[in-house]
């Protein structure tokens, strides 16, 4: 039996309503989930050499698809030098520091343009484990 590798679709370039160059990044091989990001932010992350080329969806395991899960999913990318470590793309775009809390302003977790995310002033995050 032949095993076929399905490649991800290529990124798509477009201009958003504010006349800014943006890209749509595929988050799965089927091309059914895409992230929207400013082209400059995408280039900064991909050209840094610190992160893998493929972005993906990562959830915290709460809820099922179609329920609350959409509010609890994140766009993540693997670090090149630490294979098991991942970075959250919204944190990379905002250049959030250690323990700074990043909050989604809108409802679309795939929209990674800066106006959809903010660093919560005065709030320090800590993982709940």
Nearest-angstrom CA–CA distance, 32 and 23 = 15
Question: What dihedral angle (degrees, nearest 10) is formed by the CA atoms of 125, 57, 112, 35?
Answer: 180
**pLDDT digit string (tens) for 15-38?**
999 999 999 999 999 999 999 999
Nearest-angstrom CA–CA distance, 53 and 16 = 23
Furthest C-alpha separation in the chain:
57
83-108: average pLDDT: 89
For every residue of 8-47, DSSP letters joined together read PPPPEEEE-TTS-EEEEEESSTTS--EEEEEHHHHHHHHH
Model confidence band, residue 123 (pLDDT cutoffs 50, 70, 90) = low
pTM: 0.80
The answer to whether residues 19 and 71 touch, using CB atoms and an 8 Å cutoff, is no
């Amino acid at each position: 039996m032949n095993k076929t590798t399905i490649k991800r679709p290529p990124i798509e370039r477009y201009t958003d309503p504010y006349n800014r160059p943006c890209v749509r990044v595929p988050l799965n091989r089927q091309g059914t989930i895409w992230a929207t990001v400013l082209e400059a932010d995408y280039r900064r992350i991909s050209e840094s050499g610190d992160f893998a080329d493929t972005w993906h969806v990562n959830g915290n395991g709460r809820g099922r698809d179609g329920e609350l899960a959409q509010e609890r999913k994140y766009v993540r990318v693997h670090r090149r030098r630490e294979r098991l470590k991942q970075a959250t793309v919204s944190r990379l775009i905002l250049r959030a520091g250690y323990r700074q809390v990043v909050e989604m302003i809108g409802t679309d977790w795939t929209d990674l343009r800066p106006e959809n995310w903010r660093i919560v002033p005065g709030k320090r995050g800590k993982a709940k484990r």
